[in-house]
Amino acid sequence: MNVMNTLQEKIERAKELDFGTIFSESIELFKKTWLQGFLLQLFTFIVMLPLIIMFYIPFIGLIIAQEESGYNDSDAFNAFFASMSLLYILFIVVGIFVLGAISVALNAGFYRIMKRLDYNEQVTTSDFFYFVKGKYLSKAFMLMLISILIAIPAALLCYIPLIYAIVPLSYFSLFFAFNPELSVGDMVKASFKLGNKKWLISFGLIIVSSLLAQIIGFILCFVGVLFTAAFVYHPTYLIYKNVIGFDEPTAIDEIGATPE
C-alpha cells in the first residue's frame, strides 16, 4: 500500500478529537518550542528584508522629490509611477514568489523541529533550513503558488470560501514536512481531506490560538508577538499527530538520519 492510500485510510478512521485537550496540549508544547517559534519569525523577516528594501527604495525617491517640489506636486507622482518599469515590477513579483517558497520551506522546517521537541529529541538551528534545498524548494514553490491561486479567488468571492479554505491551506506545510516524498498534488489532496474531516475543530483552534497569540503579544509591548505568533502552528500539528501519527519512522526522519 502506498503512502497516499495509508494517509487516506488514517484520515477516514480518525477518532473524535477534544477541543480542550488539543488546546491544552498546544500550550504545553509551546513551552518547549517558543524559542524556535521566535527564530522562525526572525528568519522569515530576514528572508523578506531584501524584497522589502527593494520595494521601498522607489518610494524613498518619491519622498525626496516631494520635499524638493512640494508635497502637493502631482508631477512627482506621475514621474514616480512612470519610472516603475515593467522589469522592476516583474522583479518584485518574482521576488515575492521565490521568497514565499523559502518561507514555506522554513515553516516545514519548524514543524520538523516541533516534532523533535515534542518527542524530546535534540534540535539545531540548521534544522530550520532542511527544506531550503533545490529538491524541496520546487515543491515549496508549487505549494505556495497553489495557496495563492486558492486564496485570492476565495477572498474575491466575499471571503466566505476563504473561511473554508483557511483550514486545508493550514495543512499544506504539515504534509510537506512529514511526507516530502509525496507529489504536490497528493499533498494538496491529503490536506483537503484532513481539513474536511476535522474542519470545525481545526478552524476553532486556529481562530482561538491566533487571537490568543496576538492579545498576549500586544500585552507584551507588541514585541511579544514575535514570540507568540508561532503558537498558531501547534494545534494543527497536534491534530495531524492524532490523526496521522508518527507510529513508524517517516521518510523525513530516515533522510535526516542518513549522513549527506
Q: What is the pLDDT of residues 156-199, one digit of tens each?
A: 888 889 999 999 999 999 999 999 999 999 999 999 999 999 99
Query: What pLDDT, on the 0 to 100 scale, is given for residue 103?
Result: 94
Percent above pLDDT 90 for the chain: 65
Q: Look up residue 185 and give its DSSP letter.
A: H
Any domain includes 172: yes
Q: How confident is the model at residue 210 (pLDDT cuts 50, 70, 90)?
A: very high
Any domain includes 217: yes
Name which of 97, 104, 109, 134 is nearest 39 in CA terms: 109
Query: What pLDDT, on the 0 to 100 scale, is given for residue 203?
Result: 97
**At 256, phi and psi to the nearest 5?**
-65, -30
Instruction: Count structural domains, the chain.
Output: 1
Angle at 195 between CA 194 and CA 199, to 5 degrees: 125
Name which of 97, 117, 130 is nearest 37 in CA terms: 117
Contact (CB, 8 A) for 111 and 173: yes
Q: How confident is the model at residue 260 (pLDDT cuts 50, 70, 90)?
A: very low
Query: What pLDDT, on the 0 to 100 scale, is given for residue 194?
Result: 97
Query: What pLDDT, on the 0 to 100 scale, is given for residue 259?
Result: 40
Contact (CB, 8 A) for 131 and 181: no
Q: Which has more confidence, 88 or 27?
A: 27
Q: pTM of the predicted model, to two decimals?
A: 0.85
Query: What pLDDT, on the 0 to 100 scale, is given for residue 248?
Result: 54
Any domain includes 260: no
- Domain extent at residue 187: 3-255
Question: b vs e for 42-76, b when ≥16 Cβ sit within 10 Å of the residue's Cβ?
Answer: ebbeebbeebeeeeeeeeeeeeebeeeeeeeeeeb
**DSSP three-state, residue 123:** coil
Any domain includes 84: yes
Query: What pLDDT, on the 0 to 100 scale, is given for residue 258?
Result: 43
Q: How confident is the model at residue 81 (pLDDT cuts 50, 70, 90)?
A: low
Q: How confident is the model at residue 122 (pLDDT cuts 50, 70, 90)?
A: very high
Arithmetic mean of pLDDT, 241-260: 62
Contact (CB, 8 A) for 150 and 106: no
